[in-house]
């Protein structure tokens, strides 16, 4: 790849979301802004090798993209579009030569998280508009056919235009709800990358980095939002353990068997600092609590054992806040570590009739492990077989099969 291509890619990575947000905010048309920006990058690749890279590549791209929009408006020849784009042309001279472009990416993220946008497409829409990921990459990450994902994204962008969703931060009364939607979408993207089977799907693995990047952006623009700080801390704690999740041969290693020496100290220190900042604000939420659970696991680096009593207390609060059966499972496992397998198993028994857990692999894996610890080998074997049948990750499946074999 030529130096020009490398420069264009670097500018795209650093500037795509910023430029798209600015143009879309002026026109209210995300899809049109994407088309214009795509043409601008194509023009850069065609012209820069011969003419040289401009002194301000971002301003150059913005100027070209706006001209493409104006050309499109002239072709369409509608009064509304002509008026809008004449205003755009007047702004172009002043803004395109500025030292920097106004940063409206956070506003774009709030647009993507608007209640008019279907919840399932919010995270993919952020990944495409703010980070510039293509529909095929996003579809792979979310286990969806590329054509289906492309249609969903196109419909969402049309919805933004037709509903005239404003490109601005919500009013104070609406800010918390919309911010939570932004954070939930970011975490959904991270979780999709974190749980990729086998650790081999590189598109999905890269999704964790993209989600962390998005959350860093939110924190940089809203530095006093404790849940944004908490979510970033939570993701960094998890990412710090990535290398320890698999052996050199690709075998799965559960958290309690990981060697803390393989955890990334730098990411852990960042997470601890973020969590401390969030706790100082004095407003506690779900992501801060989940990050605090991870912090209690990190204690094992110094003591050789996670702080299980603290983890149980944190899950007590989390269960109250979320009502999530997943939290209840984790709480039962923590109780088993703190007070014995029989106590933990009794808590899992309370969840046995929850239809949401009938095909939830972690429930059956946790149940199998606790049954094995109580000596109920036959029941543990049945639970392990159920968990194995529900598991998509070959490495985790081999791990569970090993535990099942050990019962015999």
- pLDDT tens digits, one per residue of 279-304: 999 889 999 999 999 999 999 998 88
Per-residue pLDDT at 93? 41
Q: Of 285, 235, 239, nearest to 265 (Cα)? A: 239
Dihedral sign, CA of 21, 26, 27, 28? positive
Cβ proximity of 36 and 23 under 8 Å: yes
CA angle 314, 316, 322 (to 5 degrees): 95
Q: Of 362, 388, 399, 152, nearest to 252 (Cα)? A: 399
* Main-chain dihedrals φ then ψ at residue 123, nearest 5 degrees: -65, -50
Confidence of residue 193 (pLDDT cuts 50, 70, 90): confident
Mean pLDDT score across all residues of the chain: 85
Confidence of residue 191 (pLDDT cuts 50, 70, 90): confident
Instruction: Give the mean pLDDT of 305-309.
Output: 93
Which two structure tokens, joined as six digits, stand for 14? 């650093």
Confidence of residue 197 (pLDDT cuts 50, 70, 90): very low
Report the C-alpha gap between 50 and 46 in whole angstroms.
8
Per-residue pLDDT at 76? 67
Res 131 pLDDT > 90: no
Q: Of 225, 271, 127, 107, nearest to 185 (Cα)? A: 127
Where do the structural domains in the chain lie, given as residue ranges?
A: 3-101, 307-408
Of 98-102, 168-172, 238-242, 246-250, the range with the lowest mean pLDDT is 98-102
**CATH number listed for the domain at residues 307-408:** 1.25.40.10
Q: What percent of the chain has pLDDT over 90?
A: 42
Which is higher by pLDDT, 166 or 378? Answer: 378
pLDDT, tens digit (0-9, with 9 covering 90-100), for 100-127: 556 788 888 888 888 889 988 988 898 8
Per-residue pLDDT at 254? 92
The total number of residues shown for the chain amounts to: 408
Which two structure tokens, joined as six digits, stand for 265? 């100290």
Confidence of residue 139 (pLDDT cuts 50, 70, 90): confident
Which two structure tokens, joined as six digits, stand for 313? 């207390």
Report the C-alpha gap between 296 and 233 in whole angstroms.
13
Residues in a beta bridge with 246:
252
Which two structure tokens, joined as six digits, stand for 90? 């007047």
Per-residue pLDDT at 12? 63
């Amino acid at each position: 790849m030529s130096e020009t291509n490398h420069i264009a890619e670097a500018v795209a990575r650093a500037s795509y979301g910023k430029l798209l947000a600015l143009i879309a905010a002026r026109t209210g048309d995300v899809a049109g802004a994407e088309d214009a920006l795509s043409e601008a990058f194509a023009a850069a690749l065609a012209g820069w090798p011969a003419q040289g890279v401009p002194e301000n590549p971002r301003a150059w791209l913005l100027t070209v993209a706006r001209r493409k929009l104006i050309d499109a408006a002239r072709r369409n020849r509608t009064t509304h579009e002509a008026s809008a784009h004449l205003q755009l042309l007047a702004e172009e001279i002043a803004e395109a030569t500025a030292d920097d472009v106004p940063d409206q990416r956070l506003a774009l993220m709030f647009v993507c998280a608007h209640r008019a946008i279907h919840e399932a497409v919010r995270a993919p829409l952020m990944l495409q508009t703010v980070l510039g990921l293509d529909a095929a990459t996003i579809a792979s990450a979310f286990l969806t056919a590329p054509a289906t994902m492309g249609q969903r994204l196109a419909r969402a962008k049309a919805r933004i235009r037709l509903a005239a969703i404003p490109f601005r931060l919500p009013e104070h009364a609406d800010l918390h709800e919309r911010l939570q939607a932004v954070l939930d979408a970011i975490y959904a993207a991270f979780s999709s990358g974190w749980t990729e089977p086998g650790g081999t799907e590189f598109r999905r693995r890269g999704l964790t980095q993209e989600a962390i990047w998005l959350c860093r952006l939110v924190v940089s623009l809203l530095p006093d939002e404790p849940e944004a700080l908490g979510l970033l801390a939570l993701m960094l704690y998890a990412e710090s353990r990535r290398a320890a999740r698999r052996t050199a041969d690709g075998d799965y290693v559960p958290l309690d068997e990981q060697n803390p020496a393989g955890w990334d100290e730098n990411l852990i220190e960042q997470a601890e600092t973020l969590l401390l900042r969030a706790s100082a604000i004095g407003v506690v939420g779900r992501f801060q609590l989940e990050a605090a659970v991870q912090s209690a696991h990190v204690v094992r680096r110094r003591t050789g054992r996670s702080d299980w009593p603290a983890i149980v207390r944190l899950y007590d609060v989390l269960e109250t806040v979320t009502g999530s059966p997943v939290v209840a499972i984790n709480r039962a496992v923590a109780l088993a570590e703190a007070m014995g397998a029989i106590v933990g198993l009794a808590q899992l028994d309370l969840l046995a009739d929850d239809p949401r857990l009938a095909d939830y692999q972690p429930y059956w894996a946790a149940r199998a492990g606790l049954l094995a610890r109580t000596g109920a080998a036959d029941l543990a074997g049945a639970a392990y077989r159920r968990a194995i049948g529900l598991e998509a990750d070959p490495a985790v499946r081999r791990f569970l099969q090993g535990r099942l074999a050990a019962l015999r």
